[in-house]
Structure 1
Amino acid sequence: ELNELLEMEEIMWHQRSRVSWLRDGDKNTKFFHSKASQRSLKNRIRGIRDDSDYFQSIFSTSQPVNMQRVLDQVHGRVTVEMNEALMTGFTRNEIEIALRQMHLTKALRPDGMPAIFF
């Protein structure tokens, strides 16, 4: 008899949850966000356990051979001229232009100082 009562109570709660979902399911409510958060936590993959070191073995080598031959196949994308242009310092004019393009009250640095400060 106790088992029957427990089963009836479980059925009642199940039916009640269905009614709530049908009533509030996809609305932008606290109920919806609660259900979505629960589902997200339930479905999250926290990591992959690899007891056999399979991935370690296919993505690494213990004896690299002819590394220079491999590196020779990687072609440079930055020319000498491009590198020189990238390595030159900023001019005062370039800095002023960049500051004028920034929104005056946006905090772009970790210290929270906005562009208007500079």
Structure 2
Amino acid sequence: MKLIPSEMIAAYNAVKESAATHKFVGGWFLLCLGTCIILRSYSNLPKKVDATVWDVQWRSVAVSAVAFYLWAVGSGMVTEYPWLNMESWLASALAALFGILAPLVVPGAPPDE
């Protein structure tokens, strides 16, 4: 199960050093988190013609958002916002545990109609 879109990891890693020199790491994190939610929502939209936003597997989107948060905080770069902070070792441990338990939360792929 892919928890975080690989495009988000690549984009986050490509710009995080530049964001750090411009003191925009927290903003960059929030922008990437929002983009992660949008990408996962779009990728989980069923392929039927009349699909709406209500047809998205929102549990899968939430799992991706939490996984991205734990991954980014575990890297130790997000320090601008006190409400986002936790120890890097704790975020890494929670990310590992979350990766193991996430399949229990996310439903299987819906059948294509």
TM-score strictly above 0.5: no
Structure (1/2) with the larger helix percentage:
2
Scaled to the shorter chain, the TM-score interval is under 0.3
Q: So what's the TM-score if we normalise by structure 1? A: 0.22
Q: Structure with the greater relative contact order (CA < 8 A, sep ≥ 6): 1 or 2?
A: 2
Q: So what's the TM-score if we normalise by structure 2? A: 0.23
